[in-house]
Amino acid sequence: MRAVIQRVSRASCTVNEEITGTIEHGLLVLLGVEEQDTISDMKWLAEKIVNLRIFNDSQGLMNRSLCEVNGNILLISQFTLFAQTKKGNRPSFIRAAKPEIAKPMYDQMAIYLNELMNKKVALGIFGADMQIELCNDGPVTIIMNTQDKNNF
């Protein structure tokens, strides 16, 4: 499972000219799922996301977590995080999980994040053509991969 985590002052997702999710102050999380990902991977990543100390404290240091600042999450499915560009110029997405595996994992991630934060996570629509707008705060962008936990 891969995630691109961006600290934002605001973010929204629009599908077919309708807003499906919008947040103020929090994290935009782009989530990609691989076939081998497990519930254990999902829980590890969710706990890391809500506990990352990437929000400023009173001294302006990144020392507070999402929960400590009462932030929000906009969670977006993003199979292109597993693009392979080694050969040629057309990316291959063969490493991304098929929708029948990825969608339940995405849905479970949303449920688990809801529980950890004790509030509802804003969502995109799995598999849809989404337009994402954000104002990256900092900018702060972190990439995580559950298959490489030792480096995160």
Domain residue extents for the chain: 2-145
Distance between start and end Cα atoms, the chain:
13
pLDDT digits (tens, 9 = 90+) for 25-79: 999 999 999 999 999 999 999 999 999 999 999 999 999 999 999 999 999 999 9
pLDDT digits (tens, 9 = 90+) for 86-131: 888 888 898 899 999 999 999 999 999 999 999 999 999 999 999 9
The DSSP-derived string for 2-25 is: EEEEEEEEEEEEEETTEEEEEEEE
| Helix (H) / strand (E) containing 101 | helix 99-117
- Residues labelled as active-site residues: 80
User: Structure pTM?
Assistant: 0.94
And the tokens for 86? 């080694």
The yes-or-no verdict on residue 152 having pLDDT over 90 is no
Q: Where are the beta strands (DSSP E) in the chain?
A: 2-15, 18-32, 55-56, 62-64, 72-77, 122-123, 131-145
Q: What is the CATH number of domain 2-145?
A: 3.50.80.10
